[in-house]
Structure formats: structure tokens, C-alpha cells
Amino acid sequence: MEFQVIWFVLWGLLWAVYFALDGFDFGAGILYPFIAKDEMDKKAVIHAIGPVWNGNEVWLITAGGATFAAFPTTYAYMFSYLYTPLLIILFALILRGVAVEFRPKAPTEAQKKLWDAGILIGSFIPALLFGVAFGNIFMGLKFDESGYYGTLFSLLNPYGLLVGLLFLFSFIVHGGLWVSLRVPDSLAKKALNKSKKFWYFQLICAVIFLILTAFYTRLYDNFIKYPIWFFVPVLAVVFLLLTGVFIMKNKKGKAFIFSALFIITLVFSGVIGLYPNLIPSAIDPKYSFTIFNSSSSPYTLKIMTIVVIIFVPIVLFYQAWTYKTFMYKITEKELKEEGY
């Protein structure tokens, strides 16, 4: 039981870190055509995420791998029930990766516009659909012993779309802040202004999310049973408000940090509400996939825990080094010297 709980926490942590890191890549890609009006600006935005976006993807692979290894039954049914949206997300991620790498090398204006569209589409779709997927998991999927009764369109319900929009606006704000930290001042001002505007939409969605969660899900049951855990969503609210405060004060670095903390605590609020479920059944709780009825053997979880203790610090060191190395202000001179 101890290892199952440990891996449930790790499962939530991996997803939270992924959204906090790759979230600003999605946001930058969505804002890209709206803030970058000339060639130099477009090159600056791509250069802002270029050194880190593929490293951030490691957390997605790790989150998926952890789900497969620790909770194989949940993994199998999740990719069965949510096959279509997850496949769309996969194709979008591939499109974004190819577009980011190929756009600086495009020889013609037509090809550049094609890759520009790829960056936008490949960032927008995962940002929205990841939220829709998690919103439906929070709410519960319609399945029993006979299988899943939903469709792609049934996933696009009001609550699922609300969580999708909350993820979308959170990533846009997060991405705008990241871009504003790295690009030349004139472009940074545009990115920061977009973060300011979209923060209000983020705040509105967050308030509606907190209200509708009480009606559409059973996430609050665990918080009512163990009130001490209310500190996590309270922290999420505080971090969101502090993000807005520092955005308005043009303190981009602090705003970015609190934006990342908001995303992490938001995801963890949902994870705490789910416990011990991984995929709740909206038909009858007895059909739900939990950390107890869908986990690997205790021996497997023990070996995986040892592996995590050894290798996660290495990954964290690598990522910390990457961000330390590339966390500097890009200049137009640098872009020209590097052939962008």
C-alpha cells in the first residue's frame, strides 16, 4: 500500500511538473503569430523556447511511462477510452516539434507561413485537449464492466471545456511571461501585455472551475473528509493572485515563478480530490480504476522507486543546468550572428 500511495503522488507530481514546464512552450506557441509581426520577432520567440522545449517533453514521456509501469491497468484503459483525443494530442505535438525545428530553415516565405501555422496549431490543440481530458477524468468517465460509453464529442461537455479553457489561458499567461523574460524589450512588452489581458480570463475560469467542481465532480469529498488538504487549493488561489499582482507591477520573473506554482498546485488539487481513484467511473464507483486495483506488484513498485531515487536527481540536475545556461536576454545581434 505504501508504494502505491508513493507512486500516486509521483504520478501527480510528474504531470504537474510537465504542465508547468511545457505549459509555457504551449503558451509561447499560441502567442507566437499574435506578438511576432516581423521576421526578427518570430525568430526571437522560437529562439526563446528552442533550447528547452524538447527537454520539457521528457516529463511527458516520464509521466506516461510511470502510468504504464506503476498502474498498467489504468494506462491500458485510459488509452483505450481516450484514444482519439490522445492521438490528436500526439499528432499535434509532432507537428509542433517539426515546425519549431524546420521553421528557421525554411527557404521560402510560403514554407515559413506553413510552419508558423504548425507552431500555432501544434501548441493550441494540446493545451486545450489536455485540460479537456483531465476535466473529464475529474468528473468521471462513463464506463462499467461492459466498457466505455462515451465518444470524442461527449468529452466536449461544459465542465471538460471549462477545464480545457483554464489550462489554455494558464499556459498562455505562462508562455507570455517566459517570452517576456527572454526576448528583446520591444517584443517582451507585447508578450507581457498579452499575459496581463489573458490573466483576467484565467482568473474568471479559475473561479468558475472552483464553483462547478462542486456540482460536476466529487473532488471536494476528500477535502471535506480531511480539511487539512484545503491548503493546496488555497495556495493555488494565492499563487494565481500573486501572478496577477506581479504582472501588473511588471515584475516578470516573480510572476513567472508564481504562475508555475499555480499550475503545479492546481494539478495537485485535482490529484488530491481523485485519491484513491485514477479514473473514476461516472456510472458506479465500484467500476473505478484506483491505485489499489490497477497497480503493478509491490516488488515492481519497489524496484521502480529505487530507479527513481537514482535517476530523477540526474534529470533535475540536467534541466537546472539547461535553464541556468539559457536563461538570458536574447539580443538582435545574437540572432543575426547565429544565422536566425
Average pLDDT over residues 154-179: 96
Name the pTM for this structure: 0.94
Asked if pLDDT for residue 306 goes beyond 60, the answer is: yes
End-to-end CA distance of the chain: 53
Cell numbers given for 66: 510511470
Phi then psi dihedrals of residue 272, to 5 deg = -60, -40
At residue 338, does pLDDT exceed 70? no
Q: Name all domains of the chain by residue range, CATH numbers in brackets.
A: 2-337 (1.20.1630.10)
d(CA 241, CA 254): 12
pLDDT tens readout for residues 9-47: 999 999 999 999 999 999 999 999 999 888 888 989 998
pLDDT computed for residue 153 by the predictor = 87
Residue 97 CB: number of other CB atoms within 10 A? 16
Cell of 250: 511588471
Residues 99/146, Cβ–Cβ less than 8 Å: no
Average pLDDT rounded to a whole number, residues 88-99: 94
| Distance separating alpha carbons of residues 259 and 182, to the nearest angstrom | 16
Which tens digit of pLDDT belongs to each residue from 254-279?
Answer: 999 999 999 999 999 999 999 999 99
Distance (Å, whole) CA 339 – CA 61 = 32
Q: How confident is the model at residue 319 (pLDDT cuts 50, 70, 90)?
A: confident
CB proximity list for 291: less than 8 A, separation 6 or greater: 4, 5, 7, 8, 71, 275, 276, 278
Distance CA 71, CA 4 (A): 9
Q: Work out the average pLDDT over 145-163.
A: 91
Strands 147-148 and 277-279: unpaired
- Of 221, 214, 263, which Cα lies nearest the Cα of 12? 263
Q: Within 10 A of 145 (CB to CB), how many other CB atoms are there?
A: 9
pLDDT of residue 327: 79
φ/ψ region of 147 (left if φ > 0, alpha if ψ in -120 to 50, else beta) reads left
